[in-house]
Amino acid sequence: MYRTHTCGELRAAHTGTETTLAGWVQTVRKFGSITFVDLRDRYGITQLVFSESLNQQLDEQPLGREFVLQATGAVVERTNKNPNIPTGDIEINVTSYKILNKSAVPPFTIQDDTDGGDDLRMKFRYLDLRRNAVKKNLELRYAVNRAARNYLHENHFMDIETPFLIKSTPEGARDFVVPSRMNQGQFYALPQSPQTFKQLLMVSGYDRYYQVVKCFRDEDLRADRQPEFTQIDCEMAFVEQEDILTMFEGMIKHIFREVKNVDITEKVQRMSWDEAMTRYGNDKPDIRFGMEITNLKSPFTGDDNATIAAAGFKVFDDAQTVLAISVPGCSEYTRKQTDELTDWVKRPQIGMNGLVFIKCNTDGSFKSSVDKFFDADKLKQLAADCKAQPGDLILILAGLEERTRKATSELRLEMGERLGMRKKDEFKLLWVLDFPLFEYAEADGDEPGRWVARHHPFTSPKPDHISIMINNNPVIEDQANYLSHPYAGIKANAYDMVLNGNEIGGGSIRIFQRELQEKMFAALGMSDEEARHKFGFLLGAFEYGAPPHGGIAFGFDRLCSIMGGSESIRDFIAFPKNNSGRDVMLDAPSEIDAKQKKELGLN
Ligand code: ASP
């Protein structure tokens, strides 16, 4: 037997017990003739004491960091207790030990505050995983996984595996492809999600399906994405949107209760996509704080503020959209601070030309960067329009609709962050509903602008919007005014769950009739032939009694990272890839040899 106890379980009550522990040497400290060793395993750290009688053996076989050690001795109560660790009341008086394996000197210290940089830790991820900080994250991940599975099992969902070597499923990204040796010149695609399979399972009668499943998307890795990531993927038959919202609100609440001991009793707030865009400039708003947008001028909301229209300020007059936020308690910002904010909105990621500010002083006076155009009365009016309080700093952005809305949303989040309004231990859930069915994809070279599915092509329009789709031609004649095309107004039976400003889940009620699905493919510019080639199996299945159905998928990695209070999903993945999609430990992707290429029929 290698061990009788773990390094995390012995307490004062075990005093006198003979024990054998096995683990890794964290530290070796020599005090005169006595040597102290901290021994670590997955469960904790226990202090070992090697007395003088073992000195000769220690000299012959010295211990080093990360050596794998087995030690036997009696549990004794410490005179010098360490209240910081659970085993801090005891130590082991070692009578015999054995080095089970040696270790090279690790390239960084295996401690909470390690001296290893990101790259080094990823290269030696198996050592990084020994660190407590990383281990805690993986434990949380497992707890979330368990809680989700238990909930789904209790609710009669069945875990059914679906294949990885498939034909493309469109989720809006590029496919990873795998060459086929047996069918040379042909390729499998790795699933961007099991979307079509879970729908087929509904046709097959498995009315509640789930899977904790890998998805593969070949995207340019924007901040904090992984080319392979995990979803809690679910589908239900004979449901309407409300059934799905209730079921999965229940799941998330269950997970919070089980994993974080947080009881979310209130019903999750709901907001339409239009409302989210209007009030927060964003379809995944962080509602932990207010600072909502004032739409001074916008073709999206139809606002046209009179005070602004009358001022004769060219920047506002020429802009399609003018949006403001009132930042509480910042009226005393210095010139340096407002300059810094101006630079912030001018960064390429935000892309604005400038920033207008109005300081609403606590004495009731105003000071702005546009005093030339706005006298005291006008500023007062504008402050009232923006619902600003004395002490607020109003920030105004002007430009093209989409960019300005996005920038204002980013600015709001940034100010919320700076003012400490985005608290890590506060969890605010939100359903965003009624998404547009289509999204406009701008012209690309010779290809004119066209409609793409905002969610995916299997999403059903709102029942009373189906006729708009059937009765109108999808072609966009007036590209500049695509918003006036009837398709721009079609809303989908689609929903996202948002947690603290992050989309943690998304899904929809699906199309389940062949004709409507064909109409959808046509709206997306697919010919009949192309639709049959790509999705013939699904169209065929819809002819054999497809039930009404819908579902949702949760981003498991992201959910874990938010619950763990971290910015990065990588911290919650045992073996993640870096920002260029590389596994630096394996050094993948890599070349394959000529023989392998030949077998696959690749040049
Ligand atoms: N397959 C979708 C996705 O990956 C989720 C869903 O519609 O259920 O986003």
pLDDT number for residue 11: 98
Q: Give yes or no: residues 521 and 559 share one domain.
A: no
192 and 240 both lie in a single domain: yes
Beta bridge partners of residue 94, listed in sequence order: 50, 73
309-343 pLDDT tens trace: 999 999 999 999 999 999 999 999 999 999 999 99
Claim to verify: residue 393 and residue 454 sit in the same structural domain? no
551 touches ligand 1 (CB under 6 Å): yes
d(CA 393, ligand 1 centre) in Å: 40
- State residue 603's pLDDT score: 77
CA distances from 247 to 235, 251, 413, 470, 499 (A): 11, 6, 30, 32, 17
Residues with pLDDT less than 70, the chain: 223
Q: How many CB atoms lie within 10 A of CB 322?
A: 26
Q: Is the pTM of this model over 0.75?
A: yes
Going from the Cα of 467 to the center of ligand 1, the distance in angstroms, rounded, reads 25
Establish if 6 belongs to a structural domain: no
Question: 195: Cβ below 6 Å to ligand 1?
Answer: yes
Q: Whose CA is nearest to atom 8 of ligand 1?
A: 552
The answer, yes or no, to whether the previous bond of 486 is cis (omega within 30 of 0) is no
Nearest to 438 by CA among 409, 412, 408, 469: 469
The reported pLDDT for the residue numbered 444 is 86
- For residue 32, tell me if it sits in a domain: yes
| Residue 428 belongs to some domain of the structure | no
Q: Whose CA is nearest to atom 1 of ligand 1?
A: 195
- Is 84 part of a structural domain of the chain? yes
447 in the same domain as 411: no
Q: Whose CA is nearest to atom 3 of ligand 1?
A: 553
The CATH number assigned to the domain holding 170 equals 3.30.930.10
- Residue 507 near ligand 1, beta carbon < 6 Å: yes
Tell me the CA–centroid distance for residue 552 and ligand 1, in Å.
6
For residues 313 and 382, the answer to whether their CB atoms sit within 8 Å is no
Tell me the two tokens of residue 539.
């169209």
**Pick from 55, 84, 101: which residue ends a domain?**
101
Burial classification of residue 106, based on how many CB atoms lie within 10 Å of its CB (0-12 exposed, 13-18 middle, 19 or more buried): middle
Provide the CATH number for the domain around residue 45.
2.40.50.140
User: Nearest to residue 370, comparing CAs of 342, 411, 390?
Assistant: 342
| 382 found inside a domain | yes
- Cβ(506) – ligand 1 distance below 6 Å: yes
Does one domain contain both 445 and 534?
yes
- 364: domain CATH number is 3.30.1360.30
Distance, CA 299 to ligand 1 centroid (Å)? Answer: 31
* 508 C-beta closer than 6 A to ligand 1: yes
User: Mean pLDDT score of the chain, rounded to an integer?
Assistant: 95
212's CB contacts (< 8 A; 6+ apart) are 145, 148, 149, 159, 230, 231, 232, 233, 556
Q: Are residues 478 and 558 in the same domain?
A: no
Residue 3 lies in a domain: no
Decide: helix, strand or coil at residue 411.
helix
Q: Can you give the residue range of the structural domain that contains 521?
A: 436-491+513-546
110 Cβ closer than 6 Å to some ligand 1 atom:
no
Domain termination residue (choose one: 381, 398, 422):
422
Q: How far apart are CA 572 and CA 145, in angstroms?
A: 12
* Ligand 1 probe mutation, 226, 233, 549, most atoms within 8 A of CB: 233
Determine the distance separating the centroid of ligand 1 and the alpha carbon of 507, expressed in angstroms: 5
Statement to judge: residues 240 and 345 lie in one domain: no
18-56 in b/e burial notation, b at 16+ Cβ within 10 A?
A: ebbbbbbbbbbeeeeeebebbbbbeebbbbbbbeeebee
The predicted pLDDT at position 354 comes to 96
In this predicted structure, what is the pLDDT of residue 397? Answer: 98
Query: What amino acid occupies position 98?
Result: K
Instruction: Answer yes or no: do 148 and 230 share one domain.
Output: yes
Which residues have C-beta within 8 Å of that of residue 423, sequence separation ≥ 6?
288
Overall number of domains in the chain: 4
- Does ligand 1 have an atom closer than 6 angstroms to the CB of 552? yes
Domain shared by 264 and 149, yes or no: yes
Among 101, 116, 151, identify where a domain stops: 101
Q: Under DSSP, is residue 112 helix (H, G, I), strand (E, B) or coil?
A: coil
For the Cβ of 553 lying below 6 angstroms from any atom of ligand 1, the answer is yes
Same domain assignment for residues 240 and 324: no
Instruction: Write down the pLDDT at residue 82.
Output: 96
CA distance 437 to 539: 20
Verify that 143 and 53 share a domain, yes or no. Answer: no
The angle formed by the CA atoms of residues 289, 294 and 300, to the nearest 5 degrees, is 115
Claim to verify: residue 444 and residue 418 sit in the same structural domain: no
Q: Establish whether residue 171 lines the binding site of ligand 1, counting it when its CB lies within 6 angstroms of any ligand atom.
A: yes
Q: Smallest Cα–Cα separation from 255: which of 572, 574, 571, 562?
A: 562
Give nearest CA residue, ligand 1 atom 4. 193
pLDDT of 268:
96
Look at residue 248 and tell me if it is in a domain.
Answer: yes
CB contact at 8 A, 29 and 47? no
Q: Which segments of 74-217 does DSSP mark as H helices, in order?
A: 118-123, 125-128, 132-154, 195-203
Q: Is 263 exposed, middle or buried (0-12, 13-18, 19+ CB in 10 A)?
A: exposed
- Ligand 1, atom nearest to 231 Cα: 4
In a domain, 124, yes or no: no
